[in-house]
Chains A and B, each alone.
Chain A
């Protein structure tokens, strides 16, 4: 089948029909200062927000999609950088970390019935983790199959892993591991894979701006024999400050995918080299082959956050250009930007909920289609 030369397609007229997203709803967050993190719970029915106003707010989504703030309380004596939910198997549990050098664990207490009627709930502090001597920059729960484990990283370059041995008593946490990364840490990400082929693994990013210090991303892996975490790999090609890091959900792949927010967006593939686990003695962590899959500098300068959607089919990144970009790989594993969210500074109108972009563009194909449609039902 020979092909004629393809006429170049601009596709502009049809792009109108490709508008992907719109603002469905805007929620007045009511924080008195900058919001630093917003985190959905596991089922997407609740969210937590944290701010420089030192508080955390919890929001519940009602059946009709409206969000209501059901709790708001002061959590720290400094800006709260991150807030994260534990897996619902452990109940309703939140962790927060702050500039005030602490991380804290909070549990929701089922309140009096009149509180419930008023749509309020109470959260109480179960523990404060005070081991860090500097600002705690990230807090993450480990994958649930490891039990209830909390990880923090700090500007003092230390990653700390805590465990609550008794899930019913959240005031007891023990510091299980203290890992010195030597460079100021800004972010951690656990490999979500619970496959037995992969021992527990996490990645740490450093925002140290001195490029002579080498790799700013370190990968640590748990060793069953030594019962300790050992460094498996340092990504030497990442020399600029790293602000965020995210392992992709593993969909039955044999390799790991890691996204990094640094001076650009980078996606790495980490391929375990050792195939026969049975032979592993205490010779150390799995050797990983590091391949770069994609690199995007569209944000023009620093990239601050990266995060995967649930099926790891979309990666979102946020950068200095004030945009959020969505990245997607097609079935040939070619990555492309498929959408951009951009602040336009326009005032919030009361008519949010309408796709604003759509009404402005109409393609010529629409007119023809309309004519054809009028006769559609008449035919056949």
Chain B
């Protein structure tokens, strides 16, 4: 498969001069570049060097693109849930509807971008325009897969949608004092005819006819021709063959008018007649009005071959492109992409789009939709995945570096059965845990997917951070959540040390309500029980307190370092007449000392 060979784009780094090296460091969503010199131990460098943050251009458009990403995410998730067992006719309708949804989201984004007047955005708007144009054609050819007959009608719609300047011009003409004398009048009429919009063409012509009563018959004839052109009705009872016959009759009639010189005295009507008969030269004389080779293609099909079959398209497409483009002008990537579409070479379309557009959003979503329509043959890629997954992974990975869009990426990874899980594991770890709330959000996602190692790691990071900032309670809850016994022990030690130093406990709420979590580590259990001892004592439940104290010793979970403290705690109990307990305590301790 030959490839669009695209030269890599060069980004200039200011203040980094010739003869110096450029160091770099990968970051989330960017790359840092700085001037340096490698392996020159003696070399002296400049004092004040800069570190440059280099980003992808998409970042500028983020605020508006964000809506595109959010809404398309919604459509994407819905698409994944379409049941496999639906009859194919129902599925096709749904797929077409989803395709239209995607396109309306693109158009909405474009309109928003247009509101923001900035030269830089003009380029982004062009990209979206091209995307929508390509997507629309793919919808017509691949998803809707219209057969001969409806095919041309869909292509006409496609062209009309992407050549809206006609309406603007028409508005201007109609709003003028004398529309029929406006300098753009005939351009509008011809444009309507070229787009097969005969109703509107006829209405415009009426205005001219009223101005030229002498030529009334000619205008009447033209009006008749225009009104009689057959258009295939997909919902009707007429077969394609019947339509074809009718159309040929009409075509012959138009041709007769030409031969008869019926319009010879009116150059404009003569031109329209030639267009109706499908005269190539006349069509090509109106390149400016057609403006693109694919408009030329559809117009030519309309007037020469309205029953064109999908399989015949590429012959016409290739020849129209050749005829329309100058010998000098070089076809642009958009042209190759559209041509590949007319050739029904889906893989080439996707490939060329990935290269030319550098926009993963488009190829990822379109490919996913085409895959659902079962239109992609599965290629065995070198690492065992497929094209759809490759593109979705690329797109979603890009989302992950956004501070809020990363959550959308999760759903995409979920729907990549081969590598989605491992990609998610790798990237979700890097989401900065700026706040507890964010950390909990990330945790929930990991817990839902049984990503136990990531859960443990995130909790450990949070526990460590809390410990460094001396927030023992927070550190303890995080280590419990991490099921990190060693860390829990460490933190319990700190609590106990704190107690020894200050005589009080901190974070009582937490400790009192741990429940079974206290069993995570011996030290933690001791901490909880020891606090319980103090509570009992404060509530004057001395007998229970004493018993608890004793059990702490006998169960051997009291750390040795704490025995003195325990003894000191026990002394007041003597006053409470729990002498027995104290004696037992001393005996126990004595025994343990000997061991």
Which chain A residues have a beta carbon within 8 Å of chain B's beta carbons? 1, 3-4, 6-40, 42-45, 47, 49, 52, 79, 88-92, 99, 108, 110, 144, 168, 207, 243, 249, 251-253, 302, 304-305, 307-311, 313, 316, 318-320, 322-326, 330-333, 336-349, 352, 354-359, 362-366, 368-380
Q: Quick check: B336 and A17 within 8 Å, CB to CB? A: no
What sequence of 0s and 1s flags, for each residue 458-483 of chain B, a beta carbon within 8 Å of any chain A beta carbon?
00110011001110000000000000
With A322-B20, A348-B50, A365-B334: A251-B161 Cβ-Cβ less than 8 Å: no
Q: Quick check: A33 and B164 within 8 Å, CB to CB? A: no
- Complex-state Cα separation, A79 to B433, whole angstroms: 34
- Complex-state Cα separation, A313 to B390, whole angstroms: 11
- Complex-state Cα separation, A77 to B461, whole angstroms: 33
| Chain A residues, Cβ within 8 Å of B107 | 376-377
- Complex-state Cα separation, A90 to B130, whole angstroms: 49
Q: Quick check: B47 and A32 within 8 Å, CB to CB? A: yes
When C-beta atoms are compared, the residue in chain A nearest to B119 turns out to be A359
Q: Quick check: B490 and A168 within 8 Å, CB to CB? A: yes
Q: Quick check: A21 and B9 within 8 Å, CB to CB? A: yes
| Chain A residues, Cβ within 8 Å of B339 | 7
Q: Quick check: B464 and A26 within 8 Å, CB to CB? A: no
| Chain A residues, Cβ within 8 Å of B468 | 91-92, 108, 110
With A35-B49, A251-B422, A379-B167: A369-B23 Cβ-Cβ less than 8 Å: no
| Chain B residues, Cβ within 8 Å of A11 | 4-6, 332-333, 356
When C-beta atoms are compared, the residue in chain B nearest to A42 turns out to be B430
Give the interface segment out of B11-19, B138-146, B203-211: B11-19
Q: Quick check: A14 and B333 within 8 Å, CB to CB? A: yes
Give the interface segment out of B53-61, B82-90, B565-573: B53-61
What sequence of 0s and 1s flags, for each residue 1-40 of chain B, a beta carbon within 8 Å of any chain A beta carbon?
0101111111111111111111111111111111111110
- Complex-state Cα separation, A373 to B162, whole angstroms: 8
Q: List 20 other contacts, CB 8 Å, given A38-B25, A342-B11, A342-B12.
A: A25-B53, A35-B45, A35-B51, A38-B23, A40-B32, A44-B27, A89-B461, A307-B26, A322-B16, A330-B354, A333-B381, A338-B8, A346-B14, A347-B15, A358-B120, A366-B126, A368-B291, A371-B165, A375-B166, A378-B164
B245 at the interface (CB under 8 A from A): no
With A110-B470, A365-B126, A375-B167: A308-B11 Cβ-Cβ less than 8 Å: no
- Complex-state Cα separation, A92 to B464, whole angstroms: 9
| Chain A residues, Cβ within 8 Å of B422 | 251-252
- Complex-state Cα separation, A4 to B29, whole angstroms: 41
| Chain A residues, Cβ within 8 Å of B379 | 331
| Chain B residues, Cβ within 8 Å of A88 | 461, 464-465
| Chain A residues, Cβ within 8 Å of B421 | 252
Smallest distance from the beta carbon of B338 to chain A beta carbons, Å? 12
Q: Quick check: A18 and B44 within 8 Å, CB to CB? A: no
- Complex-state Cα separation, A374 to B336, whole angstroms: 24
| Chain B residues, Cβ within 8 Å of A309 | 26
Q: Quick check: A379 and B18 within 8 Å, CB to CB? A: no
Q: Pick 18 A–B contacts, CB within 8 A, sort by A.
A: A23-B12, A27-B52, A29-B48, A31-B48, A52-B44, A110-B470, A253-B383, A304-B21, A307-B26, A319-B21, A322-B22, A326-B31, A340-B10, A343-B12, A346-B12, A355-B57, A363-B332, A378-B168
- Complex-state Cα separation, A31 to B47, whole angstroms: 6
Q: Which 3 A/B pairs are nearest by Cβ-Cβ distance?
A: A375-B164, A343-B16, A34-B45
| Chain A residues, Cβ within 8 Å of B12 | 23, 342-344, 346, 356-357
Smallest distance from the beta carbon of B138 to chain A beta carbons, Å? 16
- Complex-state Cα separation, A294 to B340, whole angstroms: 30
B262 at the interface (CB under 8 A from A): no
B143-162 interface with A by 8 A CB criterion = 160-162
Q: Quick check: A374 and B165 within 8 Å, CB to CB? A: yes
Chain B, interface size category, equals: 35 or more
- Complex-state Cα separation, A339 to B17, whole angstroms: 19
Contact of B14 among A24, A79, A326, A349 (CB under 8 A): A349
Q: Quick check: B110 and A376 within 8 Å, CB to CB? A: yes
| Chain A residues, Cβ within 8 Å of B537 | none
- Complex-state Cα separation, A123 to B18, whole angstroms: 36
- Complex-state Cα separation, A345 to B333, whole angstroms: 33
- Complex-state Cα separation, A332 to B46, whole angstroms: 44
B387 at the interface (CB under 8 A from A): yes
Contact of A1 among B60, B291, B292, B345 (CB under 8 A): B345
B266 at the interface (CB under 8 A from A): no
With A26-B15, A26-B52, A322-B20: A4-B314 Cβ-Cβ less than 8 Å: yes
Q: Quick check: A30 and B48 within 8 Å, CB to CB? A: yes
Q: Quick check: A341 and B358 within 8 Å, CB to CB? A: no
B381-439 interface with A by 8 A CB criterion = 381-383, 385, 387, 390-391, 394, 397, 419, 421-423, 426-427, 429-434
| Chain B residues, Cβ within 8 Å of A31 | 47-49
Q: Quick check: A9 and B331 within 8 Å, CB to CB? A: yes
Smallest distance from the beta carbon of A76 to chain B beta carbons, Å? 14
B116 at the interface (CB under 8 A from A): no
Contact of B24 among A16, A23, A168, A324 (CB under 8 A): A324
- Complex-state Cα separation, A311 to B165, whole angstroms: 45
B463-516 interface with A by 8 A CB criterion = 464-465, 468-470, 490
What sequence of 0s and 1s flags, for each residue 357-393 of chain B, a beta carbon within 8 Å of any chain A beta carbon?
1100000000000000000000101110101001100
| Chain B residues, Cβ within 8 Å of A365 | 126, 130, 332, 334
When C-beta atoms are compared, the residue in chain B nearest to A7 turns out to be B331
Contact of B125 among A14, A45, A369 (CB under 8 A): A369
Contact of B13 among A44, A49, A92, A341 (CB under 8 A): A341
B98 at the interface (CB under 8 A from A): no
B122 at the interface (CB under 8 A from A): yes
Contact of A375 among B60, B168, B387, B461 (CB under 8 A): B168
